[in-house]
Chain A
Amino acid sequence: MNVIEINRLSKAYGQVQALDEVSFSVARGELFGLIGPDGAGKTTLFRLLTTLISPDSGAASVEGLDTVSDYRRIRETVGYMPGRFSLYPDLTVEENLNFFAALFGTHVQDAYDLVAPIYRQIEPFKNRRAGKLSGGMKQKLALSCALIHRPSVLFLDEPTTGVDAVSRSEFWDMLANLKTKGITMLVSTPYMDEAQRCDRIALCNEGRILGIDTPAGIVSRFDSRLYAVSAGNMFDLLQTARTFEGVAACYPFGSTHHIVAGENFDAAALTGYLQANGLADVRIEQRVPTIEDVFIKLMQR
């Protein structure tokens, strides 16, 4: 059974089409990722699903409840962690948690088994004001607060933005743990490398969905050969490689540049061409594409 059903959902803010006929569904217990940059429409989608705003057209349901007509009941069953820091900075860690428990008419103890693995990490600081916590700890507290009423569906809008790589990785470990408890999760992130941690992902940009699949499935859609190339002067390499026939695209990618092979691409010929143009230490090898490569390709289409 699908916990979230989205059918041709659209929403515009003035001239800007924030969401343009988006459709997909999320199955029970799935960890579903919305991957895309700012302006992709991720936050708009979250606000529509959490019933904070109404769509211009299309429909969506959560746990079988319509987001427009049944919004009160949806609010009782979902947990939501908005993109911004959504805690009271002048209240302590403990006061925040107690307040959010009271908000849902429950007690911290009732959800302790669910919250404990996360909350225990910040419990030593329970008397500290939330505003004085670091990014990683705020995030853990916000997640604890979102779980306090044992929601069956959890919406997490860019929970890892602005957080360092270690805390981000820890956060995804916590989500993986929640998945074992059967909670359905919809998570958005601008970091492509986090897509691997999801069961399925939707790549989105400018209000549209570029593709939906498992991370492996998305990667398999990359229908060209991909090469990683490096040389002594990386900036010259970029400029020169782009002038070579058969290079469909060339862009920086970590310590190398990625080259998307067009028709009649010949790696050996490229090496020769680059050397002839004065580049030293030219190395080229074929690579398995990443989700980011797919995203770039789909964006250019």
Chain B
Amino acid sequence: MKETVISIRELTKRFGRFTAVDRISFDVYKGEIFGFLGANGAGKTTAMRMLCGLSFPTSGNGTVAGFDVMREGEMIKRHIGYMSQRFSLYDDLTVMENIRLFAGIYKLTPYRTRRRAVELLSRLNFLNERHTLVGALPLGWKQKLAFSIATLHRPEIVFLDEPTGGVDPITRRQFWELIYEEANRGTTVFVTTHYMDEAEYCARVSIMVDGEVRALDTPAALKRQFAANSMDEVFRTIARGAKRAE
């Protein structure tokens, strides 16, 4: 029996009369790379905000890292890592200052902060860049650094919101290798992306349309089910039926 780290049932979020997320249910297992796909406006962002403890569901129930999504948002935040494409690090602080800041936010002891920092910097070959302003780093480097910092406190789950947007093909792959490594260590990775080849890297993929989860399985099984050659085709087949006027 696999250990579940996210387990949600009938999770719903309404804004007035608009149902952004409509009774979604799924489990995510420990150490899994879980792809969370969806068309624009399908409700991905809203769903992810609920899972991260940033907003409370209108109805439904579930746990993330063992904490109740309806009541324990603050506890959830302490046990997860989060990285988005838009904001991740402070451009006007150096690499090391960013590391120290986030270590402080998650209350790492000075000893652990130092150890993790050295570990992280040598893994990324960043030791010489530790006093460089983050703003001066190329985008791909920034994203790799942001990911490493998001996992600095060894969270059980790390949420990645379109982490590789605009990144070159080589750096994008290096980024995914970091993800693999983190997953191998037992961290659960919950990731959204618009690159369909990246969907193939995931252990399982869910696809949201019109606020509902329409498909959820391994990429191989989804391709069989929809008689498709690639995840791109699978996605298009499912998302084409979207009714929500985007």
Q: B231 near A: Cβ within 8 Å?
A: yes
B177 and A136: CB pair below 8 A? no
Q: Are B184 and A254 in contact (CB under 8 A)?
A: no
Give how many A residues have a beta carbon under 8 Å from the other chain's beta carbons. 38
Interface flag for A253 (CB, 8 Å):
yes
Is there an interface contact between B184 and A164, defined as CB atoms closer than 8 Å?
no
B181 and A135: CB pair below 8 A? no
Whether B165 is near chain A, meaning CB under 8 Å from some CB there, is yes
A295 to B38, CA, bound (A): 27
Chain A nearest CB, measured from B196 CB (Å) = 6
Contact assessment for B246 and A137 in the assembled complex, using a CB-CB cutoff below 8 Å:
yes
* CB of B101 within 8 Å of the partner chain: no
A82 at the interface (CB under 8 A from B): no
Whether the Cβ atoms of A125 and B231 lie closer than 8 Å is no
Residues of A near B181 (CB, < 8 A) are 235
* Count of interface residues, chain B, beta-carbon cutoff 8 Å: 40
Q: Are A255 and B170 in contact (CB under 8 A)?
A: no
Question: How far does the Cβ of A16 sit from chain B's closest Cβ, in whole Å?
Answer: 9
Across the interface, do B219 and A193 meet the contact criterion of CB distance under 8 Å?
no
Nearest neighbor of B41 in chain A, beta-carbon distance? A134
A292 x B239 contact (CB < 8 A): no
Interchain CB contact (< 8 A) of B219 among A190, A235, A255 = A255
Residue of A nearest to B138 (CB): A39
Asked if A37 contacts B168 (CB within 8 A), the reply is yes
Closest to A236 in B: B184
Residues from 86 to 127 in A contacting B, C-beta threshold 8 Å: 124-125
Interface residue from B173, B183, B246 paired with A135 (Cβ < 8 Å): B246
Residues on B with C-beta less than 8 A from A41 are: none
Chain B residues with Cβ below 8 Å from A193 are 196-197, 232
A161 and B165 contact, CB distance less than 8 A:
yes
Contact B139 A253 (CB under 8 A): no
**Chain A residues within 8 Å of B, Cβ to Cβ:** 36-40, 124-125, 133-137, 161-167, 169, 190-193, 205, 234-235, 238, 251-255, 292, 295-296, 299-300
B residues bordering A, Cβ < 8 Å?
Answer: 38-41, 138-140, 162, 165-171, 173, 176-177, 180-181, 183-184, 194-197, 200-201, 219-220, 230-232, 235-236, 239-240, 242, 245-246
| Besides A37-B171, A161-B166, A255-B219, 15 new A-B residue pairs in contact (Cβ under 8 A), listed by A number | A39-B168, A124-B245, A134-B41, A137-B245, A161-B165, A167-B39, A238-B180, A252-B173, A252-B176, A252-B177, A252-B201, A253-B197, A254-B197, A296-B169, A296-B173
